[in-house]
């Protein structure tokens, strides 16, 4: 009889300990009234949302650059990164607009328009200024580069941002970040890949990097399946 009571007492103590542990763990995982797991799901969703916004923007940017390259329409597009570009946004024409190819092409195509000269500045994937005049580079630059390229080099030398230039002379597309200058492709798929690499290499989308890698692996597997079929 005593043995049975002792076993029951031990089981009761174990049960109480489990209740206390579970209660403690529940309180531990609760931060400001929100469950940690819910927060984790929130950040995962945020990563996916940011990734989708970035990819949608890149698609529109590629379409704009390719169109202007084919038609040899000169253009300069600046994408703000870590450094604030308000001083150049404010001296341009401030607007708040989604980035879409038709608007970009219209701005740069009409040479008689007062908005034609200068740069478009993008912040958080949206246009915040047009016809913004930028500092030109004071370095010795190859004569093949014109005024837009000098402005792209100048802003990238002083600020952490991206600059994309289309030459109205030959239609060449150039990407600039800090001291890196790259001649980019005029093939949509390749240009998309090059821009994604520029963004991810510079940590413009740091929180999305894992999502990006998973998406790329998924695309690669799908391609392999399609080839095998």
User: Does residue 154 surpass a pLDDT of 80?
Assistant: yes
User: Does residue 84 surpass a pLDDT of 70?
Assistant: yes
> What count of other Cβ atoms lies within 10 Å of the Cβ of residue 188?
13
Q: Please state the pTM of the whole predicted model.
A: 0.71
User: Per the structure block, which two tokens stand in for 213?
Assistant: 């890698």
Residue with tokens 């001649």: 183
- 219 pLDDT band, cuts 50/70/90, is low
pLDDT in tens, 51-75: 888 899 999 999 999 999 999 999 9
Q: What's the whole-number mean pLDDT along residues 126-146?
A: 87
User: Per the structure block, which two tokens stand in for 64?
Assistant: 């704009």
| CA distances from residue 136 to 164, 170, 210 in whole angstroms, order as listed | 15, 21, 36
Q: What angle do CA 205, 210, 214 make, to 5 degrees?
A: 120
User: Per the structure block, which two tokens stand in for 12?
Assistant: 């009761």
User: SS3 for 76?
Assistant: strand
Cα dihedral across residues 205, 203, 99, 216: positive or negative: negative
Maximum CA extent, the chain: 103
């Amino acid at each position: 009889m005593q043995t049975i009571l002792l076993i029951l007492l031990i089981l009761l103590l174990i049960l109480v300990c489990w209740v206390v542990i579970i209660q403690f763990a529940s309180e531990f995982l609760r931060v400001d009234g929100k469950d940690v797991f819910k927060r984790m799901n929130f950040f995962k969703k945020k990563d996916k949302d940011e990734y989708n916004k970035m990819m949608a923007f890149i698609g529109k940017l590629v379409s704009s650059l390719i169109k202007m390259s084919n038609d040899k329409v000169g253009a300069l597009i600046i994408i703000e990164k870590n450094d604030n570009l308000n001083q150049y946004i404010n001296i341009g024409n401030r607007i708040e607009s989604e980035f879409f190819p038709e608007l970009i092409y219209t701005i740069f195509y009409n040479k008689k328009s007062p908005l034609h000269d200068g740069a478009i500045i993008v912040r958080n994937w949206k246009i915040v200024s047009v016809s913004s005049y930028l500092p030109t580079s004071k370095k010795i630059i190859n004569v093949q580069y014109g005024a837009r390229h000098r402005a792209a080099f100048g802003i990238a030398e002083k600020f952490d941002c991206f600059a994309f230039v289309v030459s109205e002379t030959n239609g060449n597309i150039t990407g600039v970040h800090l001291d890196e200058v790259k001649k980019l492709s005029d093939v949509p798929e390749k240009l998309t890949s090059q821009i994604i690499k520029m963004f991810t290499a510079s940590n413009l989308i740091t929180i999305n990097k894992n999502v990006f890698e998973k998406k790329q692996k998924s695309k690669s597997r799908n391609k392999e399946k399609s080839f095998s079929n």
